[in-house]
Amino acid sequence: MGKAKWFFMDNSSEEVPLGQVLVGVVFNLKHAEQSHSSAPDDQAEYDSMDTVLAIERALQRQGCRTVLCEADEDLPEKLRRHRPDFIFNIAEGRGGRAREAQVPALLSLFDIPYTGSDETALCIALDKALTKRLLTTYRIPTPRYRVYEPSGRIPTGGLRFPVIVKPNAEGSSKGIQDVCIAENASELKSLVERNISLYGGSVLAEEYIHGREFTVGLLGNGENVSVFPPMEIVYHDSPISGYNVYNYTVKQQYTKYVSYRCPAELSPELERKIVSISKKVFLALGCRDFARVDFRLDEENRLYFIEINPLPGLAPHYSDYPMLAEFCGMEYDDLVGNVLRAGAARSGVCL
């Protein structure tokens, strides 16, 4: 597939040039020895050093100098010492419901511009139920759901079975185990209790949508945000008998369970609808620079928003976001460079 070069424009409609500036890459790294959880996917959202280095190399090929800054307790001192001109942020945070906001809030405090959504958008989007409540005011369809708090009762009425049970404020399919579908009230109660025990936070139970699954990437800002054609996740097998769930097991062994089709085989009308809703969600939540939106299409062609990830993974040849970009002709280095350009143009920074 041919190489695509995308450029983002600032308010003066001139290309934002890349120069010899210092770009800090801020990240959270997987550290097996630091895991204190019994959950098998405790650090699923964190990045490997291979991903961090791939991003750094891509930035260097754009003409930038780089410095790597792990988002640990010493991050404020690292920022003071290195004084980066701009931050390429992929940090997931160090725990808690607001963890994805930790680094953006610190960067905002230090007045350092950065890529990606701000702390408010990241806080809202990580809370799946809060996102759904907000988006219903925009008439965006989503499966019916209930939220269970750790200290609360577990009423099981009001939902049609089967339902999928998952942590309310986690990403990377964290907490969606091979036993995550409840077919009756007893199973729902058991799964909610298990999730609370392993992850500690609130739990989302959502009516399971049988049908096709799609993910959509967005790149840029405002009304001019670019939307990639939808990518379909095509299931060939599943670790969950009778159900197709893009869970932790499937993502770890994706060549066994799924393949990817981009662009998806959709009618022009349905593709326009998915693209339109993706953009509407992105703008409604105040997302910036890049994001990924997930959908289910039921057997009667009714489309349901599932969730949005405004801090999508960037592992080359593995994460969905760079994969769908590559399907559309955008190589990895160009994708990283365009996320950087989008953030710089939005921030008024000349790189």
Residue 4 pLDDT class (50, 70, 90 cuts): very low
Over residues 145-181, the pLDDT tens digits come to: 999 999 878 998 889 999 999 999 886 566 688 889 9
Query: Total structural domains in the chain?
Result: 1
The label of the residue with tokens 């988006």 reads: 135
**With DSSP H G I counted as helix, E B as strand and the rest as coil, what are the percentages for the chain, rounded to 5?**
35, 20, 45
**Per-residue confidence (pLDDT) for residue 336, from 0 to 100:** 98
Residue 5 pLDDT class (50, 70, 90 cuts): very low
Is residue 77 assigned to a domain? yes
| CATH number of the domain that residue 37 is part of | 3.40.50.20
Over residues 206-252, the pLDDT tens digits come to: 999 999 999 999 999 999 999 999 999 999 999 998 999 998 889 88
Core vs surface per residue 264-282: b (16+ CB within 10 A) or e:
bebeeebbebbbebbbbbb
Q: What angle separates helix 119-126 from helix 128-136, to the nearest 10 degrees?
A: 100
What is the rounded distance in angstroms from the CA atom of residue 90 to the CA atom of residue 284? 22
Tokens of 338: 């365009």
Q: What is the mean pLDDT of the chain?
A: 90
Tokens of 175: 């907490």
Residue 312 pLDDT class (50, 70, 90 cuts): very high
Is residue 163 assigned to a domain? no
Residue 12 pLDDT class (50, 70, 90 cuts): very low
What is the rounded distance in angstroms from the CA atom of residue 72 to the CA atom of residue 125? 23
Position 15 pLDDT exceeds 70:
no
Over residues 108-134, the pLDDT tens digits come to: 999 999 999 999 999 999 999 999 999
Is residue 181 assigned to a domain? no
Position 189 pLDDT exceeds 80:
yes
Position 40 pLDDT exceeds 60:
no
C-alpha dihedral sign at 52, 54, 58, 64 = positive
What is the rounded distance in angstroms from the CA atom of residue 101 to the CA atom of residue 122? 6
Domain that holds residue 43: 22-115
**Per-residue confidence (pLDDT) for residue 198, from 0 to 100:** 86
Q: Which of 241, 235, 238 is nearest to 249 (CA)?
A: 238
Residue 85 pLDDT class (50, 70, 90 cuts): very high
Is residue 45 assigned to a domain? yes
**Per-residue confidence (pLDDT) for residue 314, from 0 to 100:** 97
Is residue 229 assigned to a domain? no
Is residue 68 assigned to a domain? yes
What is the rounded distance in angstroms from the CA atom of residue 3 to the CA atom of residue 274? 25
Is residue 29 assigned to a domain? yes
Residue 14 pLDDT class (50, 70, 90 cuts): very low
Is residue 43 assigned to a domain? yes
